[in-house]
Amino acid sequence: MRHRWNHLLFGKTALAAAALAGFLMFTAVPRLLADDCQRRVVRADHRLHEAIEHHGYQSRQAEQRRHELHEAREHCWSASHRWWDEHEHRWHTERDWDDHDHDHDRDHH
């Protein structure tokens, strides 16, 4: 009888552990995707600033970096229907980015 209770207790514990692991996995995955998206956009945004600073607004290098920033934003949008705005330091839930938003900065230098 005691062996049966131990077996039953072990089964319930294993089931509870599996449920907890599943819960943690499904709550952690969106966070990891968000962190990855944010990191991609921040890196692409920084590279665009560097290209503009070193080569100019209309340079081939700046245009390539604009494309990379667009791709990073598209990746985020496809993965979670939101994208990180590095200038405002916030997530957007509308697909409302401007691929030439950094060009507006030149008027303020």
Predicted confidence at residue 43, as pLDDT, reads 96
The chain-wide mean pLDDT, for the chain, equals: 80
Domain ranges of the chain: 2-108
CA atoms within 13 A on the CB side of 43: 9
User: For residue 8, what are its two tokens?
Assistant: 């039953």
Residue scoring higher pLDDT (17 or 49): 49
pLDDT digits (tens, 9 = 90+) for 37-53: 999 999 999 999 999 99
Q: How many CB atoms lie within 10 A of CB 66?
A: 21
Residue environment code for 83-97, b if the CB has 16+ CB neighbours within 10 A, otherwise e: bbbbeeeeebeeeeb
* Residue 25 scores a pLDDT above 50: yes
Predicted confidence at residue 35, as pLDDT, reads 82
